[in-house]
């Protein structure tokens, strides 16, 4: 049986995870928009925006959501591995739903939900997991 304090902690962690991801997504889109308005190629703008979002999301998850004490060289490499899996899941989920429905927004909503759930589980169980790692700061 799970205690109320454990549920509260889990809900807080999920809220912080989603908040950090939301700030990272807004950063991605803002950088992309500003670069496009300044005349940059859209592909370059989204790549740089995504990189900015990735860095912000890593730091938000590391410091606030999971309050990790792992060394950055360990945590960031794990984070990149998890982010790569999430990216692949997003693409696969989008592709599958789009082939079934033909609707881009619906497909992206499904893919985002699936990737977000997978990213949370990966971050919680692997990326910022400290129990099996002796490599602390």
33-77 pLDDT, tens digit per residue, is 999 999 999 999 988 999 999 999 999 999 999 999 999 999 999
Say if CB 97 and CB 106 are below 8 A apart. yes
137: confidence class by pLDDT, cuts 50, 70, 90: very low
**Residue 136 has what pLDDT?**
47
If asked whether residues 79 and 116 sit together in one domain, one would say yes
If asked whether residues 11 and 55 sit together in one domain, one would say yes
**Residue 134 has what pLDDT?**
54
If asked whether residues 11 and 74 sit together in one domain, one would say no
CA distances from 117 to 14, 40, 66, 123 (A): 10, 33, 16, 10
Work out how many domains the chain is built from and give that number: 2
If asked whether residues 1 and 37 sit together in one domain, one would say yes
If asked whether residues 113 and 52 sit together in one domain, one would say no
**Residue 101 has what pLDDT?**
94
Query: Which of 49, 67, 85 is the endpoint of a domain?
Result: 67
If asked whether residues 80 and 20 sit together in one domain, one would say no
If asked whether residues 36 and 94 sit together in one domain, one would say no
Query: Which of 48, 67, 86 is the endpoint of a domain?
Result: 67
If asked whether residues 17 and 44 sit together in one domain, one would say yes
Query: Which of 27, 52, 67 is the endpoint of a domain?
Result: 67
Residue 62: alpha-carbon gap to chain centroid: 11
In which domain, by residue range, is 19 found? 1-67
If asked whether residues 50 and 76 sit together in one domain, one would say no
For 104-128, the pLDDT digits (tens) are 889 989 998 999 999 999 999 999 9
If asked whether residues 21 and 55 sit together in one domain, one would say yes
Task: Note the pTM of the prediction, 2 decimals.
Answer: 0.83
90: confidence class by pLDDT, cuts 50, 70, 90: confident
If asked whether residues 7 and 54 sit together in one domain, one would say yes
If asked whether residues 88 and 28 sit together in one domain, one would say no
């Amino acid at each position: 049986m799970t205690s109320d304090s454990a549920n509260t902690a889990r809900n807080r962690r999920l809220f912080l995870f989603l908040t950090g991801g939301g700030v990272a997504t807004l950063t991605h889109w803002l950088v992309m928009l500003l670069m496009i308005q300044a005349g940059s190629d859209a592909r370059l703008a989204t790549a740089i925006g995504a990189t900015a979002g990735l860095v912000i999301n890593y730091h938000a998850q590391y410091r606030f959501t999971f309050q990790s004490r792992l060394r950055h060289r360990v945590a960031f490499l794990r984070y990149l591995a998890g982010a790569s899996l999430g990216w692949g899941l997003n693409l696969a989920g989008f592709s599958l739903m789009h082939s079934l429905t033909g609707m881009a927004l619906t497909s992206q909503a499904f893919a985002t939900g699936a990737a977000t759930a997978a990213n949370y589980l990966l971050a919680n169980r692997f990326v910022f997991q400290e129990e099996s790692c002796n490599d602390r700061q």
